[in-house]
Chains A and B, each alone.
Chain A
């Protein structure tokens, strides 16, 4: 898998996938719908799929001395690598906002979602949806990606909209906790999100392997 991941990084990817990881730091921007940063990160990954398609990457990979399912696993591995890097930046931003900047007025007067573990959980959910809808959808044909990407955009923005709305609902203000308030609940929600992300990604990868095995290139 190391060789196929190396191929993904050095041959198949777009530089934008790596640059857009920096959008993870948008979690530091006050008064901004920070969950959009997860969407921007996935937009960067989408660029790699576009670059790879232009370069006949899928057929090239299928001709390498590896099993066809490893081509799919390589793509998922690359996507998860980018998502993990972005998530790392988001986590750093969350920790900064929860500790050093927890009392900063610019964050305290924020009408939009705060950078906390719940926000991180939602970002992870958006990444999970990207893996499920877009990456899995792409491997139904290994060629067409417009439809799965449009469906993913709709799903991602519905999630962002829902997350930005929920904390305004009476009783759910805890979702917008500052600092270390309601830490146990936040961490629980994050743990649930991690499980959902893993379920979506593993299911999508398994399904994509089966789809890719079936299609003619």
Chain B
């Protein structure tokens, strides 16, 4: 297992991340699904050491995140939705700073991804659409040869064409052995690209299974994954 989240607990006055556990494998795409407010972003933030869990642990490459933060961050890539950093700075300037933090930075790969995503380095993030901002974050993550990609809602707010492009990109990365972990509330994205599903509801992990096993366990005959999720969520709401 290339990454493992074990028994993560984070308590807020009105919400609790309740013993969240799951693992990520190299060369597999894991979709982290749940409705808004289910605890996806909190989990992702804990994985990136942006928040401190009350208990539990996060490990990457067999090392606990606590105490190995620098080493781990060099080997992972991240995108926190469409948040834009330094909106009025030239993208080229941002890249020039970021690359100095990574020994594994691949200038050629960076140029390739910028071209692929049609990102003009002379522009500022402010001039980019929401989808392009996600792509910029991805280009930065991919240019330092991240072995694990952690993406919070990368497809939200994207048009269907951009979403499709992104999911295709995930499939390409999977072929290269990268572990892709992305949170979403768009079930069709999971259906299209994920190998594994981690399903969270009300701060609790309901299932962390390969997609086929999830379907076998939870889907009724003839149900699509979307139907299953809607039924499950309905069930949890009314439970």
Report which A residues bind B (CB closer than 8 A): 3, 6-7, 10-12, 54-57, 59-60, 62-68, 214, 216-217
Contacts of A60 in B (CB 8 A): 85-86
Q: B206 contacts the other chain (Cβ, under 8 Å)?
A: no
Query: B101 near A11 (CB under 8 angstroms)?
Result: no
CB-CB under 8 A for A11 and B97, given A63-B48, A65-B70, A216-B50: yes
Q: B37 contacts the other chain (Cβ, under 8 Å)?
A: no
Query: A214 near B102 (CB under 8 angstroms)?
Result: no
A56 to B45 alpha-carbon distance, docked (Å): 15
Query: A10 near B85 (CB under 8 angstroms)?
Result: no
Report which B residues bind A (CB closer than 8 A): 45, 48-52, 69-71, 73-74, 78, 80, 83-89, 93-94, 96-98, 100-102
How far, in Å, is B102 (CB) from chain A's closest CB? 7
**Most chain-A CB neighbours within 10 Å: which of B70, B71, B93?**
B70
Query: A11 near B86 (CB under 8 angstroms)?
Result: yes
Query: A217 near B86 (CB under 8 angstroms)?
Result: no
CB-CB under 8 A for A7 and B85, given A62-B50, A214-B52, A217-B50: no
How far, in Å, is B9 (CB) from chain A's closest CB? 14
How far, in Å, is A46 (CB) from chain B's closest CB? 19
Query: B70 near A56 (CB under 8 angstroms)?
Result: no
Contacts of B50 in A (CB 8 A): 59, 62-63, 216-217
Instruction: Kindly report which residue of chain B lies nearest to residue A61, judged by CB atoms.
Output: B85
Contacts of A3 in B (CB 8 A): 97, 100-101
A66 to B83 alpha-carbon distance, docked (Å): 20
Contacts of A67 in B (CB 8 A): 69-70
How far, in Å, is B168 (CB) from chain A's closest CB? 26
Instruction: Kindly report which residue of chain B lies nearest to residue A64, judged by CB atoms.
Output: B101
Instruction: Kindly report which residue of chain B lies nearest to residue A214, judged by CB atoms.
Output: B52
